[in-house]
Amino acid sequence: MSEPQFAIAVDPGQLHFNAAHFITFNDTCENLHGHNFHARVEAFGANNPDGYVLDFVELTRLAAGICQSLNDKVLLPGRSEVVNLERDGDVIHVASHGRRFVLPTDNCAVLPVSNTTAELLAWYIGNRLLEDMHRGGGLENVLYLQVAVEEADRQWGICRLEVGDVR
């Protein structure tokens, strides 16, 4: 008989951010536009000796901090082959498929993604969470995290990130 697996999920009010972005697809670049993004984080694994997978409070605190770092920013893809970013003093020049934007650097978050889709925003948040959690410990029982980012009502981008075997 296999061991039961458990999960926790957090999606409270703190897991949101308001941000602007554009995505590129089919040789086009969308208009710069904004969303009220929401995030949901789930951790799957085995319960620890105290009977829980992961501390809800700590997971919420870490995820909310990441969301807060994206709030009121223009999200830019730092690893895109079709979006050119050039820093010039206190501005970033953005060019893609004939569109050009000039944005204040301090209003931007350049992310290590190829496009600022909801799926890749979920990947980014998940990777940041794993980095933070590895530093602080607490991943011993976690097999994987699943992060979802809601870009518009009932439209979610989801990423599942493997943590490793339960020890």
CA distance 4 to 41: 20
pLDDT of residue 137: 77
The region of weakest confidence among 19-23, 31-35, 46-50, 115-119 is 46-50
- pLDDT, tens digit (0-9, with 9 covering 90-100), for 40-97: 999 999 998 889 899 999 999 999 999 999 999 999 999 999 999 999 999 999 999 9
Domains of the chain: 6-73+114-162 (3.30.479.10)
> What H or E segment, with its residue span, contains residue 55?
none
Q: Is 45 helix (H, G, I), strand (E, B) or coil?
A: strand
Q: Does the global pTM surpass 0.85?
A: yes
Residue 71's nearest CA partner among 43, 93, 39 is 39
Q: Are strands 33-45 and 142-152 parallel, antiparallel or unpaired?
A: antiparallel
**Which pLDDT value is given to residue 164?**
59
